[in-house]
Amino acid sequence: MSEVPSHNYPSLSDNFSCGFVAIVGRPNVGKSTLMNHLIGQKISITSKKAQTTRHRVNGIYTDNEAQLIFVDTPGFQTYHRNALNDRLNQNVTEAVAGVDVIVFVVEALRFSDADRKVLQQLPQRVPVVLVINKVDKDKAKDQAIMQAFIDEVQQAFTFAKVALVSAKHGLGVAQLIHILKPMLPQGIPLYPEDMVTDKSARFLAMEIVREKLFRYLGEELPYAMNVEVEQFAEEDGLYQIYIAVLVDKDSQKGILIGKGGEKLKKISTEARLDMEKLFETKVFLKVWAKVKSGWADDIRFLRELGM
Ligand SMILES: Nc1nc2c(ncn2[C@@H]2O[C@H](COP(=O)(O)OP(=O)(O)OP(=O)(O)O)[C@@H](O)[C@H]2O)c(=O)[nH]1
C-alpha cells in the first residue's frame, strides 16, 4: 500500500475525495458479495459457507469524483474462541483502525447477538453507515416489518447513515457509493484507476507464468515466447485460468515442454501456487504450448515489449 505509482487523471474534479472504507459484519451477511458489486467485479471469495474470507482484500472504486478503497474484513468470530478466530478478530480491529468510514452490514430481519458483538467492537471516532443487505428476501418487502427492523438496529448504535441494498442483485449499491463519497476526506487518488480490475488479475496471472518461464528456461528463450490468457473465470471461489505460451518453432515447444512434460508441469505447478497465494483462493491452471509462426509480427506483443 505504501508504493504509490505516479499516474495522470485528466478528468478529476477539483474537490476529489479519496479514503478508506471498511466493510464489517458477522459471517455470512454478504460482505464479500457487497464488495464485489461495489467495485464491479469478483475479486473476493464468496460462498455459502461462513468464514470464507480469511484475509483482508482491498477493492478499489474510482470515478471522476472519488476513490473509495474498500477493506474487506473477515467476519468477527463471536462463537468459538480459538487461536485462528482470535487472529481473525485482530485483523478486523487492525483493518478498521485507520479507515475513514465503516460500513456495517446486517442481514435484513436478522439482528442477532453476533451482530451486536460486532458493533461493540467498532471504534468510537469513525462514522458508521448501516447497510441492510438481502432486502430481496420475501419478508423484507413488507414495509412495516422492515421499518421495525431498522428501528431495532438503530437502537443499538448511532449510525451516520442507513442504506438498504441487495448485494446479490446489485440493488442500492450505486446509492451506497453516493452516500459514502461525501464522508471521505478530500485528496488525490492513491491508486491508479484501473488498479483492481479483471484485467489486472489477468495481467498478474500472465506475469507469474512469464516469470516462471524465465526461471526455468534461462534468459534467452522466453523472449521468443508470448504468454496469452485464453480464459479467466471464477466460480464458487475457484479461479479457472487457461494460459497459452506461444512459440514460433516446434523446437522451442519441445524445450518448453521438456522430457516427458516435466518442465511445463513444473512451470505450471509453481505458477499455480503463486497465483493461489496472490488471489487467496484455489486456482485451476492450465498452461500449454502453442506454435504460432510469425507471431512476432503481432502488434500487441511488440507493444508489450515497449517497441
Ligand atoms: N438473498 C440474498 N443473498 C445474498 C445477498 N448478498 C449475499 N448473499 C448470500 O449470502 C451468502 C454469504 O455471502 P458472502 O458475501 O460470502 O458473506 P460474507 O459476509 O462475506 O461472509 P464471510 O466471508 O463468512 O464473512 C452467499 O450465499 C451469498 O450469495 C443478497 O443481497 N440477497
- pLDDT tens, 254-263? 999 999 999 9
- What ipTM, to 2 d.p.? 0.97
Lowest mean pLDDT among 58-72, 164-178, 189-203: 189-203
Architecture (CATH level 2) of domain 198-304? 2-Layer Sandwich (3.30)
pLDDT exceeds cutoff 70 at 105 = yes
The whole-number average pLDDT for the span 269-285 is: 88
How far apart are the C-alpha atoms of 131 and 235, rounded to whole Å?
Answer: 26
Which of 23, 26, 32, 37 to mutate to test ligand 1, by most ligand atoms within 8 A of the CB atom? Answer: 32
Closest atom, ligand 1, to C-alpha of 50: 24
Q: Is residue 68 a contact partner of residue 92, using CB atoms and an 8 Å limit?
A: no
Give residue 41 CA to ligand 1 midpoint distance, Å: 15
Which of 26, 28, 43, 146 to mutate to test ligand 1, by most ligand atoms within 8 A of the CB atom? Answer: 28
Where residue 128 falls among pLDDT bands split at 50, 70, 90? very high
Q: Is the CB of 75 under 6 A from ligand 1?
A: yes
Architecture (CATH level 2) of domain 17-183? 3-Layer(aba) Sandwich (3.40)
What is the per-residue pLDDT for 300? 52
pLDDT exceeds cutoff 70 at 219 = no
Question: What does the pLDDT look like over 25-60, one tens digit per residue?
Answer: 888 899 878 887 887 643 443 333 333 333 344 577
Where residue 161 falls among pLDDT bands split at 50, 70, 90? very high
The response to whether 135 counts as a known ligand-binding position is yes
Q: Is the CB of 133 under 6 A from ligand 1?
A: yes
For the chain, the average pLDDT equals: 79
How far apart are the C-alpha atoms of 237 and 242, rounded to whole Å?
Answer: 16
How far apart are the C-alpha atoms of 65 and 110, rounded to whole Å?
Answer: 35
How far apart are the C-alpha atoms of 63 and 299, rounded to whole Å?
Answer: 30
What is the per-residue pLDDT for 294? 57
Residue 299 DSSP label: H
pLDDT exceeds cutoff 70 at 121 = yes
Give residue 47 CA to ligand 1 midpoint distance, Å: 7
How far apart are the C-alpha atoms of 162 and 10, rounded to whole Å?
Answer: 33
Q: Is the CB of 68 under 6 A from ligand 1?
A: no
The whole-number average pLDDT for the span 121-139 is: 93
Question: What does the pLDDT look like over 72-90, one tens digit per residue?
Answer: 565 444 444 445 455 555 5
Q: Residue ranges per domain, the chain?
A: 17-183, 198-304
What burial class does residue 11 get, using C-beta atoms within 10 Å of its C-beta: 0-12 exposed, 13-18 middle, 19+ buried?
A: exposed
What is the per-residue pLDDT for 193? 64
Q: Is the CB of 30 under 6 A from ligand 1?
A: yes
